[in-house]
Structure 1
């Protein structure tokens, strides 16, 4: 086990290093940089930066070197000092910008994940056990609609009905009068009143996809010889489903942790922008638009770290849940 964890730690470190290089190069591909974008912004306002101002800004932000020098400076600061750099746009350390949004991001992500699992598992199991029933057809139809409908369109539909029915636009995770208040029962209830909209919007596609996966996996297990043999021995249907096929059907829940977590952490970038969520998604979009490469690169690196850690957790949980996988990864 310890040898396995050691190998995985080395693979994870190498993967993150490769991702950091690719991310930095891709973010730097658009022509110009933050100073160029700043010059254009000043030009729109009728102002102009002198060549001396431009040179001073490039030196201040570390943009006067070539791409390799900028990357080596950034990754060295991260590895040796844990310093993610300075955000050009926000004029503060990147770690502060990320930490200011991390709490809300984790709250929305965890709530969405739990609700997604709680809804998808019983619907998928029912759809498989009651194959070709009205409920199965209804779940399948709704699942296809959920997969086909973009999340931002669902968010716009919510806004439309909210404006027409309640006369207000759903925005953020709290009402203005509660945003700066200390935590109490009233603020918690206000948060819950705002949280259900992003949970539904972001989790719709996830529920639809998991329902399809669980239904198909459970149908495969129900046709296995061991299920037929157990039924022939007179094992009650409910006990049979709980002990064997349903347990195997849990594998998709566990195996998707690695890629579901980063998707939920960043939310849906467009959905976060539409609903005004104080999460990392809108911050990442703004950083990419403003060529704030240290902020954008650091957010993507955080998501990459969550991905590789989530993949490791998925593998360990799968090994614990399924003995067939356990024998494979302990070799």
Structure 2
């Protein structure tokens, strides 16, 4: 078990290094850099910079270096905890990310918990009530959830909130609690605002899990050991949850990393539409302004969370299925 975890941690480190290089390269693919954006903005206001001033600024921001030099400097500082300076915000990147990371983690973990709870329970119900009215209703809702993009669902809810219920669904806090110190009232206000982003982000993930859980459990319920156990008089609830559900959970658990990736990407889009104070909207602004250190650091942090989610799914799979442990020993 320890050797398995050690190997997974080694793979995780290699993956993060490759991700960091790819991320940094993709961010710099568009023509120009942050300084070009600043020069273009000044030109619109009839403020022209001299060549000497441009070169001085390029040297100050480290934009006169080659791509490899910039990457090596950034990743070396990143490992030491220095994420660089944000061009756009004119301050260190780390405090900017730490300011928004808690909201991102809260939304992502809450969405993950709700998605898996709803997906597994409804999937079990759908499989054990095959071809019933409830099964058909769940299937239709599931297909709608898979087919509806997060941003469209968010826009629909915003429109209904404003026009029908006269409620502002933007943000994670009411206006009076945005700058208020943390306490019980602010926490309750946060909990009251969480269901909307959780529903928007987790709808497609829950719909997908329902389909997977239903298909896998139906396959298990038709196997001989289930038929034999049922013929021996074992109660239906004990029969279903003792073995078939545990086996059917394997692909659901192994897909935890993929679902977490979807939740993180969905959170990014949803935060822009709903105005959530998360890393999603911060990343969007950094990409627009080619703020490479801020954008690269956010992607790296989110990538690390995603890889950790994949590692957690592998660990849970080993715990849930004894066959994997025995296979590793042989």
TM over 0.5: yes
Corresponding residue for residue 323 of structure 1: 322
Whole-angstrom distance in 2 between the partners of 1:122 and 1:140: 14
Give CA deviations for 1:211-267 in whole Å, capped at 9, x if unaligned. 111101111111111111111222111110110111223324422322333443454
**Is the 1:257–1:310 Cα contact (8 Å) retained in structure 2?**
yes
**TM-score when scaled to structure 2?**
0.95
Whole-angstrom distance in 1 between the partners of 2:43 and 2:182: 44
Whole-angstrom distance in 2 between the partners of 1:276 and 1:145: 25
Distance 1:329 1:78, change over 3 A: farther
Give CA deviations for 1:256-309 in whole Å, capped at 9, x if unaligned. 322333443454323211110001111111111110111111111112212222
| 1:184 Cα deviation from its structure 2 partner | 2.6
**Is the 1:267–1:280 Cα contact (8 Å) retained in structure 2?**
no
Corresponding residue for residue 35 of structure 1: 35
Q: Equivalent residue of 1:211, what SS?
A: helix
Q: Which runs of 5+ in 2 are unaligned?
A: none
Corresponding residue for residue 51 of structure 1: 51
Q: Equivalent residue of 2:76, what SS?
A: helix
| 1:106 Cα deviation from its structure 2 partner | 1.1
Paired residues for 1:216-295 under 5 Å: 216-295=215-294
| 1:45 Cα deviation from its structure 2 partner | 2.5
Whole-angstrom distance in 2 between the partners of 1:307 and 1:181: 31
Give CA deviations for 1:108-134 in whole Å, capped at 9, x if unaligned. 112211221222222111110111111
Corresponding residue for residue 306 of structure 2: 307
| 1:77 Cα deviation from its structure 2 partner | 1.3
Give CA deviations for 1:2-59 in whole Å, capped at 9, x if unaligned. 2222222222222111111111111111100111111112122332222222112211
Q: How many residues align?
A: 330
**Is the 1:210–1:252 Cα contact (8 Å) retained in structure 2?**
no
**Is the 2:58–2:64 Cα contact (8 Å) retained in structure 1?**
yes
**Is the 2:150–2:266 Cα contact (8 Å) retained in structure 1?**
no
Whole-angstrom distance in 2 between the partners of 1:97 and 1:195: 22
How big is the alpha-carbon RMSD for the aligned residues of Structure 1 and Structure 2? 1.6
Distance 1:98 1:330, change over 3 A: farther
Corresponding residue for residue 62 of structure 1: 62
Whole-angstrom distance in 1 between the partners of 2:124 and 2:41: 55
Whole-angstrom distance in 2 between the partners of 1:291 and 1:212: 40
Whole-angstrom distance in 1 between the partners of 2:214 and 2:318: 22
Corresponding residue for residue 212 of structure 1: 211
Corresponding residue for residue 15 of structure 1: 15
Distance 1:301 1:330, change over 3 A: farther
| 1:330 Cα deviation from its structure 2 partner | 4.5
Segment drifting more, 277-286 vs 110-119 = 110-119
| 1:198 Cα deviation from its structure 2 partner | 0.7
Distance 1:78 1:330, change over 3 A: farther
Segment drifting more, 13-22 vs 164-173 = 164-173
Whole-angstrom distance in 2 between the partners of 1:64 and 1:200: 46
Q: Equivalent residue of 1:250, what SS?
A: helix
Q: Equivalent residue of 2:194, what SS?
A: helix
